């Protein structure tokens, strides 16, 4: 069997551990040199394939690839370019196949969320239609934790850990001074449609009365009056109120509390600024002194406090992707399967891509308390193991040492340029 | 010599390491039982003394006191209550002395910034006037790093580390996706009048072109046109632009870019929301897609990534305060003295309080590049050693284990209540 090369691309918002998956893919492929050729990475994700801008990862040292395990963000670049349907833009799919053919690529590893699962499936389908032998495998990644069929998504555990720790720390700050100063603190976190990240902040609380006192989920319609009553109650009972608000918090009619009016390439509204809006609302209605923080990219890039469990799983999924490919799998996604015992265990499973693409997994209603402002024991049991372990990076002069790859370009073979 | 008790209070905004100072004070006092009695802490800072709400720290276990070393925020509570001048409010000072007298307190340790240095000095002066023997010692603490006569202030090194790491991490995220997504990222950090914190973010950059590309200091008047030109240049050269903005960034006339209209108990304007304002400005003028983060309390509470140097110095200052007191010192502040050698060394010195109170130390102009948007080598040499070492706390189930003291109240002895 002639050895085929592999193409690997990172898609969508990057995470603290997506490079750990890249590390798993590349290290495992290197161990299987007799079966698989080189791993080419897309520069800036899938558009790297469309533009024939491929990175030859074989030019990177063993140490550099190993260091991907502890480096956040996307080492090869990522993008949010969504391939349209086959009918709407067959040319893009055909271009992908042409580039793959030119570089003898027989494996397509796409590392992303729901949108890229969909793209990956379409590429698998078209390669069959065109009679080009290609195995397309989607590797899950999203801090949003909203992919179906996997117990959790790499990237989420580390954000969850960061958010829970930050909530605990900031709440201690507020508690120290609430007698004469700030009474209300709001931390805005990511999560457009699903409240997984905001929910994980609930882990910060260990005893009755601990922060966060209120969590705002996108899944629960925001009711101003009810919310204000709860803020006031927390301040009266505990002296202060800590609120963790999902950026996707919305009114009953689906309007986000914090629409900025901008949309990204996928047509999603760009959110942000919910925290200052809530703070203003509380100030006007209750008169409390407030502070607010918006973690934004800090939360998903915080490799300095990544979850060891998350790093391990991210790596294992990259490794499994190569192994499944070499076993002949196509149009699948390796996934995390949670063991049934009381003690947390996990293993790698396999999900068919057509069951993954374009389906969002919301927080189950029984993970949210009846009043809509907190998490239940079921949610705690789900979240808790995902943040276990501190995967500290190496430091030099007080700063984490993150690797920068050489990212050497593979010479182009196609004459045609492709207009995106 | 009859043993006198000590009073210790935390003042102003808390930090990741103010409890390390408390640990130094209490552990050292416990080792000197033959010379010093109990350490009483003010509940919620100095107002705890005024209200005669004293905490008996002798009720805490050795382990609990040791855990203060790795616990952020203010273990006994803090406040921003500023004592007015002796002429304006002599009653408050007299009340303090009355409480001290009632509880046989001969040592006053006040752990705070510039305002509390001033209060501490006045208490020292009044106790002399009233003939009440009291040694008043100020222990420096402020993330703002703006106290004179000490090389640096405990709390600052840890914020500096947090901000430099966060800048590096978020910048990697932006760089990964700038080809098709966010071009400008703004991180708003604390620092009302002095740009120390924003400046420390400059450590994130190691090579030419690294983020942060622009830093906004309160010391440099903001010029919109010049700023916009630099943002555009960074995006054109590097593909993206990371800006670290001090909350105290201001126009030439002294107006803050982000006045919220609120004032705190010291009459300082409450700031916040600069990042979204800058983002809007950039969007309107240059049309770049942006993201922004406001670290707020997260930065000063981030004990999970505290600087070991900072923790060591915070502890040493607490220890020195007790030692100086037992040597008979009064109206002084132990301070950090930087060694003259090339390799960083530090020791504890002693500064007279009247030279400390009410003086703010700004970033020297030669720490800021000529164009006003970056830091010089002199600044790097100053900042770099302060963030060295990672003083990780202990973790349980993925979360840092911070101590909660029992904070047992000392029975009151005075009949009179005091109206604040």
Q: Is the pLDDT of residue A58 over 80?
A: yes
- Is the overall model pTM greater than 0.90, yes or no? yes
Is the CB of residue A196 less than 8 Å from the CB of residue A147?
A: no
Q: Is the pLDDT of residue B265 over 60?
A: no
Q: How far is CA A142 from the centre of its chain?
A: 2
Least confident range from A23-32, A375-384, B254-263, B411-420: namely B254-263
Local confidence band at A265 (pLDDT 50, 70, 90 cut-offs): low
pLDDT for the residue A1: 54
Average pLDDT of the residues in A184-211: 96
pLDDT for the residue A186: 98
Model confidence pLDDT, tens digit, residues B59-96: 999 999 999 999 999 999 999 988 888 888 889 999 99
Q: Shortest CA distance to B62 belongs to which of B100, B88, B23?
A: B23
Mean of per-residue pLDDT scores for chain B: 94
Model confidence pLDDT, tens digit, residues B23-55: 999 999 999 999 999 999 999 999 999 999 999
Average pLDDT of the residues in A82-105: 91
Chain A contact probe: residue of B113, B165, B394 with most A CBs at under 10 A: B165
Q: Is the pLDDT of residue B199 over 90?
A: yes
A398–B392 CB contact, under 8 Å = no
Q: Distance (Å, rounded) from C-alpha A166 to C-alpha A32?
A: 41
Please identify every residue of B annotated as catalytic. Answer: 144
Model confidence pLDDT, tens digit, residues B209-234: 999 999 999 999 999 999 999 999 99
Contacts of A320 (CB under 8 A, 6+ apart): A24, A334, A348
CB contacts, 8 Å: A404 with chain B: none
Chain B contact probe: residue of A81, A156, A172, A344 with most B CBs at under 10 A: A172
Q: What percent of chain B has pLDDT over 90?
A: 87
Local confidence band at A264 (pLDDT 50, 70, 90 cut-offs): very low
pLDDT for the residue B45: 97
A100-124 burial, b at 16+ Cβ within 10 Å, e below that, comes to: bbebebbbbbbbbbbbbbbbbbbbb
Local confidence band at B264 (pLDDT 50, 70, 90 cut-offs): very low
Q: Distance (Å, rounded) from C-alpha B169 to C-alpha B167?
A: 6
Count CA atoms within 13 Å of residue B363 on its CB side: 31
Q: What percent of chain A has pLDDT over 70?
A: 97
Is the CB of residue B30 less than 8 Å from the CB of residue B63?
A: no
pLDDT for the residue A29: 98
Model confidence pLDDT, tens digit, residues B168-185: 999 999 999 999 999 999
Domains of chain B: 4-142+304-359+391-400 (3.40.50.450), 156-300 (3.40.50.460)
Q: Distance (Å, rounded) from C-alpha A306 to C-alpha A227?
A: 32
Q: What percent of chain B has pLDDT over 70?
A: 96
Where do runs of H (alpha helix) occur along B295-404? 297-301, 308-326, 377-383
Q: Shortest CA distance to B55 belongs to which of B67, B65, B45, B41?
A: B41
Interface of B with A in 194-253 (CB under 8 A): 203-204
Residue A259 distance to chain B (closest CA, Å): 13
Q: Is the pLDDT of residue B204 over 60?
A: yes
Q: Distance (Å, rounded) from C-alpha A221 to C-alpha A231?
A: 16
Please tell me if residue B185 touches chain A, with a CB cutoff of 8 Å.
yes
Cis amide leading into B397 (omega within 30):
no
Please tell me if residue A189 touches chain B, with a CB cutoff of 8 Å.
no
Local confidence band at B257 (pLDDT 50, 70, 90 cut-offs): confident
Better-predicted residue by pLDDT, A272 or B363: B363
Model confidence pLDDT, tens digit, residues A327-355: 999 999 999 999 999 999 999 999 999 99
Q: Is the pLDDT of residue A267 over 60?
A: no
Q: Distance (Å, rounded) from C-alpha A108 to C-alpha A87?
A: 21
B303–A169 CB contact, under 8 Å = yes
CB contacts, 8 Å: A291 with chain B: 272, 296-297
pLDDT for the residue B266: 53
Is the CB of residue A299 less than 8 Å from the CB of residue A396?
A: no
Strands (DSSP E) found in A95-253:
105-112, 135-140, 184-189, 214-216, 241-246
pLDDT for the residue A266: 53
Q: Distance (Å, rounded) from C-alpha B198 to C-alpha B219?
A: 11
Q: Distance (Å, rounded) from C-alpha B220 to C-alpha A67?
A: 39
Q: Distance (Å, rounded) from C-alpha A359 to C-alpha B96?
A: 65
A305–B305 CB contact, under 8 Å = yes
């Amino acid at each position: 069997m002639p050895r085929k090369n592999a193409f690997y691309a990172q898609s969508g918002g990057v995470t603290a551990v997506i490079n750990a998956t890249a590390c798993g893919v590349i290290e495992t492929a290197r161990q299987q040199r007799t079966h698989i050729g080189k791993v080419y990475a897309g520069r800036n994700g899938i558009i790297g394939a469309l533009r024939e801008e491929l990175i030859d990862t074989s030019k990177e040292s063993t140490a550099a690839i190993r260091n991907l395990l502890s480096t956040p963000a996307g080492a090869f670049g990522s993008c949010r370019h969504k391939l349209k349907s086959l009918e709407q833009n067959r040319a893009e799919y055909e271009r992908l196949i042409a580039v793959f053919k030119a570089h003898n690529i027989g494996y397509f590893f796409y590392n992303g969320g729901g949108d890229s699962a969909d793209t990956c499936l379409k590429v698998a389908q078209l390669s069959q239609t065109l009679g080009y032998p290609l195995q397309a495998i989607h590797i899950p990644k999203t801090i949003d934790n909203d992919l179906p069929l996997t117990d959790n998504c790499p990237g989420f555990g580390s954000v969850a850990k960061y958010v829970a720790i930050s909530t605990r720390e900031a709440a201690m700050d507020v508690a120290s001074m609430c007698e004469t100063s700030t009474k209300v603190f709001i931390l805005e976190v990511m999560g457009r449609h699903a409240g997984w990240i905001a929910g994980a902040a609930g882990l910060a609380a260990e005893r009755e009365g601990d922060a966060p006192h209120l969590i705002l989920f996108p899944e629960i319609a925001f009711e101003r009056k009810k919310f204000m009553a709860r803020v006031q109650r927390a301040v009266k009972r505990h002296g202060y109120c800590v609120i963790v608000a999902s950026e996707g918090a919305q009114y009953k009619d689906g309007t986000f509390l914090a629409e900025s009016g901008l949309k990204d390439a996928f047509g999603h509204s760009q959110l942000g600024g919910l925290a200052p809006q809530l703070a203003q609302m509380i100030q006007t209605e209750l008169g409390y002194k407030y502070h607010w923080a918006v973690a934004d990219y800090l939360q998903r890039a915080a490799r300095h406090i990544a979850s060891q469990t998350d790093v391990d799983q991210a790596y294992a999924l990259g490794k499994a992707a190569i192994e499944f490919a070499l076993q002949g799998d196509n149009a699948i996604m390796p996934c995390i399967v949670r063991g049934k015992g009381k003690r947390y265990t996990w293993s790698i499973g396999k999900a068919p891509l057509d069951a993954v693409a374009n389906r969002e997994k919301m927080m189950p209603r029984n993970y949210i308390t009846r009043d809509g402002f907190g998490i239940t024991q079921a949610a705690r049991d789900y979240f808790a193991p995902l943040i276990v372990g501190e995967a500290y990076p190496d430091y030099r002069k007080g700063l984490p040492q993150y690797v920068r790859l050489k990212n050497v370009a593979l010479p182009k073979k196609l004459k045609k340029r492709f207009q995106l």
